[in-house]
Structure 1
Amino acid sequence: MDYAYRLLMLLSALTLCLLPFSSCSAPSVGFYAGSCPAAEIIVKNTVRSASDLDPTIPGKLLRLLFHDCFVEGCDASILLQGNGTERSDPGNTSVDGFAVIDSAKRLLEIFCPETVSCADILALAARDAVEYTGGPSVQIPTGRRDGRISAAANVRPNIIDTSFTLDEMAKLFFAKGLSMDDLVTLSGGHTIGKSHCSSFNDRFKLDPDGNVTVIDSSLDQQYAVQLTKMCHAGARDDSITVNNDPGTPFQFDNQYYKILLEHKGLFQSDSALVKDNRTMNKVVEFANSQDGFFESWAVSFLKLSIVGVKTGDEGEIRQSCPMPNR
Structure 2
Amino acid sequence: MEITLLIIVSLSLFLIPVAKSQGGLKSGFYSSTCPKAEATVRSTVETHFKNDPTVAAGILRLHFHDCFVEGCDGSILIKGRSAEINALPNLGLRGFEVINDAKTQLEALCPGVVSCADILALAARDSVDLSNGPNWAVPTGRRDGRVSSSSKASNLPSPLDSVDTQRQKFADKGLDDQDLVTLAGAHTIGQTDCRFFRYRLYNFTTTGNSDPSLSQSALTNFQTLCPKSSSGTEQVALDKDSPMKFDVSYFKNVRDGNGVLESDQRLWGDPATRDIVQNYAGRIRGLLGLRFDYEFKKSMIKMSSIEVKTGAQGEIRKVCSRFN
Regarding TM over 0.5, the answer is yes
Distance 1:35 1:292 in 2: 35
Moved more, 196-205 or 302-311: 196-205
2:217 corresponding residue in structure 1: 222
User: Contact between 2:201 and 2:210, CA under 8 Å: does it hold in 1?
Assistant: yes
Aligned match of 1:172 in 169, 173, 176? 169
Shift of 1:110: 0.7
Distance 1:231 1:156 in 2: 27
- Kindly provide the CA deviation profile for residues 156-200 of structure 1, in whole angstroms up to 9, marking residues without a partner as x: 12x110011100000010000001111011110000021111211
Distance 1:83 1:174 in 2: 30
Q: What SS class does the counterpart of residue 209 from structure 2 fall into?
A: strand
User: Contact between 2:133 and 2:247, CA under 8 Å: does it hold in 1?
Assistant: yes
Q: What SS class does the counterpart of residue 195 from structure 1 fall into?
A: strand
2:5 corresponding residue in structure 1: none
Distance of aligned partners of 1:263 and 1:15 in 2 relative to their CA distance in 1, 3 Å threshold = closer
User: Contact between 1:194 and 1:244, CA under 8 Å: does it hold in 2?
Assistant: yes
Paired residue type of 2:247: D
User: Contact between 1:201 and 1:234, CA under 8 Å: does it hold in 2?
Assistant: no
Distance of aligned partners of 1:167 and 1:315 in 2 relative to their CA distance in 1, 3 Å threshold = same
Q: What SS class does the counterpart of residue 281 from structure 1 fall into?
A: helix
2:298 corresponding residue in structure 1: 299
2:231 counterpart of 1:232: no
2:37 counterpart of 1:39: yes
Paired residue type of 1:305: S
User: Contact between 1:130 and 1:136, CA under 8 Å: does it hold in 2?
Assistant: yes
2:55 counterpart of 1:48: no
Give percent identity, aligned residues only. 40
Distance 2:197 2:186 in 1: 17
1:1-326 superposed matches below 5 A: 26-157=24-155, 159-205=156-202, 213-238=208-233, 240-288=234-282, 289-325=288-324
User: Contact between 2:103 and 2:119, CA under 8 Å: does it hold in 1?
Assistant: yes
Distance 2:228 2:201 in 1: 11
Shift of 1:247: 0.6
Distance 2:275 2:228 in 1: 37
Structure 1: give runs of 5+ residues left out of the alignment.
1-13, 19-24, 207-211
Paired residue type of 1:251: K
User: Contact between 1:81 and 1:322, CA under 8 Å: does it hold in 2?
Assistant: yes
Q: What SS class does the counterpart of residue 173 from structure 1 fall into?
A: helix
Q: What SS class does the counterpart of residue 192 from structure 2 fall into?
A: strand
- Kindly provide the CA deviation profile for residues 41-96 of structure 1, in whole angstroms up to 9, marking residues without a partner as x: 11111111101110111100110011100011000000000011110112211111
Distance of aligned partners of 1:228 and 1:17 in 2 relative to their CA distance in 1, 3 Å threshold = closer
Shift of 1:224: 1.9
Distance 2:160 2:221 in 1: 20
Q: What SS class does the counterpart of residue 204 from structure 1 fall into?
A: helix
How large is the RMSD of aligned CA atoms in angstroms? 1.8
Distance 1:214 1:310 in 2: 48
Distance 2:73 2:290 in 1: 30
Paired residue type of 1:236: S
User: Contact between 1:228 and 1:234, CA under 8 Å: does it hold in 2?
Assistant: no
Distance of aligned partners of 1:314 and 1:139 in 2 relative to their CA distance in 1, 3 Å threshold = same
User: Contact between 1:74 and 1:119, CA under 8 Å: does it hold in 2?
Assistant: yes
Q: TM-score, normalised by structure 1?
A: 0.88
Shift of 1:101: 0.5
Distance 2:308 2:281 in 1: 32
Shift of 1:15: 6.2
Q: TM-score, normalised by structure 2?
A: 0.89
Distance 2:20 2:139 in 1: 12
Shift of 1:213: 4.7
Paired residue type of 2:222: L
Distance of aligned partners of 1:30 and 1:248 in 2 relative to their CA distance in 1, 3 Å threshold = same
- Kindly provide the CA deviation profile for residues 190-246 of structure 1, in whole angstroms up to 9, marking residues without a partner as x: 00021111211221217xxxxx952100111221222122123355332x2111101
Structure 2: give runs of 5+ residues left out of the alignment.
1-17, 283-287
Distance of aligned partners of 1:80 and 1:182 in 2 relative to their CA distance in 1, 3 Å threshold = same
* Number of positions where the alignment pairs a residue of Structure 1 with one of Structure 2: 299
Moved more, 191-200 or 169-178: 191-200
Distance 1:230 1:204 in 2: 11
Distance of aligned partners of 1:234 and 1:261 in 2 relative to their CA distance in 1, 3 Å threshold = farther
Q: What SS class does the counterpart of residue 314 from structure 1 fall into?
A: coil
Distance 2:159 2:320 in 1: 28
